[in-house]
Structure 1
Amino acid sequence: MNSLARVLFAVLLCISGALAQGFGVKFLGDSHLGSDALIQAFRDEFFGGSDDSVGFIAPLMPKFHASEALRFKNEGFEIISSRRDTDPDFPLCGVIARARNGASLQIELKKLSGEFEVEVLHRVGGNGEIFEIIDANGRKFRINHLLRNSWEYTRFTLAFPVQIRSLREGAELGGYKIYRKNGSFADSCASNGAYSSVYQKWGKNAFIRDLARLDYELFIIAYGTNDALDSNFDEAKFYATLRGLVRSLRKGSRRAKILLLAPPRSPKVPNASRAAAVIRHLASDMGLMFYDFDMAMSEDGGWEGWRKMGLIRPDEIHLEAGGYERLGRNLARLLKRNLIEF
């Protein structure tokens, strides 16, 4: 039994029972997750089509990002991102949708249907009615904001597609929790170009507030490529930053397990192996699970072998969708296999 199998056995033996009752997974990472291809392949393999919730979703998808769970139609909302913009209180995942007066947003579910519990995160520099919501059954609701310049949730039972209309200039959306009781899901906080420190721009209450009432059993952290691209890559700083993220997640969901992923070894990322070593070291120090994507790729000739198979993008840093799908399926199978065997 290899070390990864031993760790998986020790911390995730109860997963098979949890899957029957609902199981939440959150991915946090950079552009390797941004297209959602890896995560969707993980969903399909891990849940076998039994996932019936969405989890926490950013209010809109920034440019070059996608969600396999939702489709957005935006008219008049500006996207503000923690990767490139500033705000004193970014919500979890670091995306804000700021409305012009009369702006509208339609949210459609791509695969799921029926009614869901939906918690809408909102903020405005005042109070009063700021958004109108119309669901697929024609039901209309108003969001009444109470606390000036503070994030608040308002909860509804809604059928999709859902339309959100702005009633006030500058009213903001910070995300949505979309779920069913005991529902299973895998959601993500992914940002192209993100360093592992991006979470430090999120508000001090974001982890506790925005993880609440969603039953996360597993967090999967997949940063490192952008950190390792930095010519001044500092191993001690990278270690401390990731450790801080782990501690923040534990504050928000104390019983969830945490898996650290080491990034693919692109020849364009000279410090990738150093970053992977730091991630492995942190996992060992904090008793976390660890998996190295290089392990999966090395079975087919590593980076060069995957390039020959057409799974590497021309930029020599990212994978084609098929490559990410292979990694997502492999990760899900590894988790399930070890759990079933033990």
Structure 2
Amino acid sequence: MRSFEDMPMVLRVSWGVVWLLLWPVLAPAQPTRALDSLQARYPFLNTRANRIENAQIGLQRFYERLSQLPLPPTTLPAHRVSIVHLGDSHLQADELTDEVRQQLQRRHGNAGRGLVFPYRLARTNGSSAYFTRLLGGTWRTRRLTGRPDTARWAGVSGLSVATNDSGAGFALRIALLRRPTGQFNQLTLLRQPGPTAFDWQVRTASGRLLGTIPGTAPGVAQPLPLDSLRSYVELRTTRATAAQTRALLYGLLLDNGQPGLIYHSMGVNGAAVRHYNQTPRYFEQLPALDPDLFIVSLGTNDAYSAGFDTAIFRRQLDTLVTRLRRRCPRADVLLTGPPDSFRARRYRNPDLARLRAVLRAYAQEHDLAYWDVSEPQGGYGSMRTWLAHGLAAPDLVHFSTAGYRLQGHLLYLAIQDGFASFTR
């Protein structure tokens, strides 16, 4: 039988995906044993470095909330723990974050899918755990990576879509083969209200009306309880009065009414810390997610080009964290260092080490938790090794599905290791 290293690249990638999908079933329950298995499977990893620094202080409130969830998950008490994970293109496809989500929910209970966005309307990539399909209308997109005058229209998803067409809409479907527990019985629409805002109708595939969300209803977040657990709905704008001429949508929250953990993920291709700072509606809408923990995964784009300035980055980081804590003062903050990557596919990037030093120092100064994925990844220049094992993309910046899920599993194990120490 061929060794893993002797396999063709396509077989390495396929086996890596299959193995990581089977990992939740085969993995040992204890983080240490699971890391030992990962180390044996991928000898180039440095799993001994897979730990969250300052976890007992920086994640104290989060771990306390997590400890209140019943194990194994039961229907009572109706207790929720909410995580908000924000980042860049490493998160937009939701492969890394979906691995963390699945593992944490399997361990601590599944309270729902959380934040979703109709990426199809924005003509960009999104999660493969759910799909959206255009049902009509012309839609405009705003991203937090745009100019400041347009980025201000992006919301908590990091994007927004808008239309002036009554009857415009989209279908939302959960990929149940991948996420059999992804059904929801409450849908919360995140949209801009006002006297000129369209109403929204939510219907079944057969056209039966499940409910209407008035455009004039106050508040950005409007929940709509559904009659049963569902995996498919259709949403359309509708005009009740002549004054209604527009719709601005920031995203949706999917809830299943159960206790447990809910994991919201938002990533925007090309995003850096400064882009979040120029998007006021992002921070304004965060309380709707009721976070117990923020995970901040940024830095790849901040230090991608030559000329990285540590002083400027620190000021931008301080602005971001200050605004997160001001809006949601009960939430802990976990900063994560970016993975190893190359510039222009050829040159190792030494500025990433300087950026990580800023993140680590800032976390220590402000009693925040810090996790550096580059150390368990294998350190400086390890991206070429990941590429050789089918875990990275040819651009030496992004990762394959298996690579992102491996990172997500490392983050999950680091969180669980800190939690085990907290509860001992």
TM range (shorter): 0.7 to 0.9
Of the candidates 105, 108, 115, which is equivalent to residue 47 of structure 1? 105
Deviates more, 1:67-76 or 1:215-224: 67-76
Deviations 1:54-105 (A, max 9, x none): 2233354544432244321123333322212515443223311212332121
Instruction: Report SS of the residue matched to 1:101.
Output: coil
Task: Give the distance between the partners of 1:301 and 1:120, measured in 2 at CA.
Answer: 43
Of the candidates 174, 178, 183, which is equivalent to residue 254 of structure 2? 178
Instruction: Report SS of the residue matched to 2:362.
Output: helix
Please provide the CA RMSD for this pair.
Answer: 2.9
Deviates more, 1:324-333 or 1:3-12: 3-12
Equivalent residue number for residue 14 of structure 1: 64
Task: Give the distance between the partners of 2:366 and 2:270, measured in 1 at CA.
Answer: 26
Task: Give the distance between the partners of 2:56 and 2:49, measured in 1 at CA.
Answer: 11
Equivalent residue number for residue 24 of structure 1: 82
Instruction: Report SS of the residue matched to 1:102.
Output: coil
Task: Give the distance between the partners of 1:228 and 1:134, measured in 2 at CA.
Answer: 45
Equivalent residue number for residue 34 of structure 1: 92
Q: How does 1:211-222 map to 2 (within 5 A)?
A: 211-212=287-288, 214-222=289-297
Q: How does 1:1-342 map to 2 (within 5 A)?
A: 7-10=54-57, 11-12=59-60, 13-14=63-64, 16-20=66-70, 21-48=79-106, 50-60=109-119, 62-75=122-135, 76=137, 77-84=139-146, 86-99=150-163, 100-110=165-175, 111=179, 112=181, 114-123=183-192, 126-127=195-196, 129-135=198-204, 138-146=208-216, 152-158=220-226, 159-167=230-238, 169-179=245-255, 180=257, 182-203=259-280, 206-212=282-288, 214-268=289-343, 269-298=349-378, 302-341=382-421, 342=424
Q: Give 1:265 shift.
A: 1.9
Q: Give 1:334 shift.
A: 1.4
Equivalent residue number for residue 74 of structure 2: none
Q: Give 1:230 shift.
A: 2.8
* Paired residue type of 1:40: D
Deviations 1:103-162 (A, max 9, x none): 121112233355433221222674364322214693343332228xx9633221124422
| Shift >6 Å, 4+ stretches | none
Task: Give the distance between the partners of 2:287 and 2:113, measured in 1 at CA.
Answer: 13
Distance 1:313 1:141, change over 3 A: same
Instruction: Report SS of the residue matched to 1:231.
Output: coil
Q: Is the 8 A contact 1:145 1:152 kept in 2?
A: no
Q: Is the 8 A contact 2:383 2:396 kept in 1?
A: no
Distance 1:338 1:162, change over 3 A: same
Distance 1:37 1:128, change over 3 A: closer
Task: Give the distance between the partners of 1:83 and 1:2, measured in 2 at CA.
Answer: 33
Q: Give 1:336 shift.
A: 0.7
* Paired residue type of 1:52: A
Q: Give 1:235 shift.
A: 1.0
Q: Is the 8 A contact 2:300 2:338 kept in 1?
A: yes
Distance 1:26 1:317, change over 3 A: same
Instruction: Report SS of the residue matched to 1:327.
Output: helix
Task: Give the distance between the partners of 1:87 and 1:307, measured in 2 at CA.
Answer: 34
Instruction: Report SS of the residue matched to 2:214.
Output: strand
Q: Give 1:337 shift.
A: 2.0
Task: Give the distance between the partners of 2:52 and 2:247, measured in 1 at CA.
Answer: 48
Task: Give the distance between the partners of 2:188 and 2:416, measured in 1 at CA.
Answer: 31
Distance 1:113 1:55, change over 3 A: closer
Distance 1:294 1:328, change over 3 A: same
Distance 1:60 1:125, change over 3 A: farther
Q: Is the 8 A contact 1:37 1:325 kept in 2?
A: yes
Task: Give the distance between the partners of 2:192 and 2:328, measured in 1 at CA.
Answer: 24
Instruction: Report SS of the residue matched to 2:324.
Output: helix
Q: TM-score, normalised by structure 1?
A: 0.87
Pick the structure with greater CA Rg.
2
* Paired residue type of 1:104: G
Task: Give the distance between the partners of 1:235 and 1:305, measured in 2 at CA.
Answer: 28
Instruction: Report SS of the residue matched to 2:406.
Output: helix
Q: Give 1:195 shift.
A: 1.2
Q: Give 1:18 shift.
A: 3.7
Task: Give the distance between the partners of 1:164 and 1:5, measured in 2 at CA.
Answer: 41
Stretches of structure 2 lacking an aligned partner (at least 5 in a row)? 1-47, 71-78, 240-244, 344-348
Q: Is the 8 A contact 1:136 1:160 kept in 2?
A: no
Task: Give the distance between the partners of 2:409 and 2:192, measured in 1 at CA.
Answer: 38
Deviations 1:204-255 (A, max 9, x none): 5x4344423x342211101111110132322111111111111222123222
Distance 1:3 1:66, change over 3 A: closer
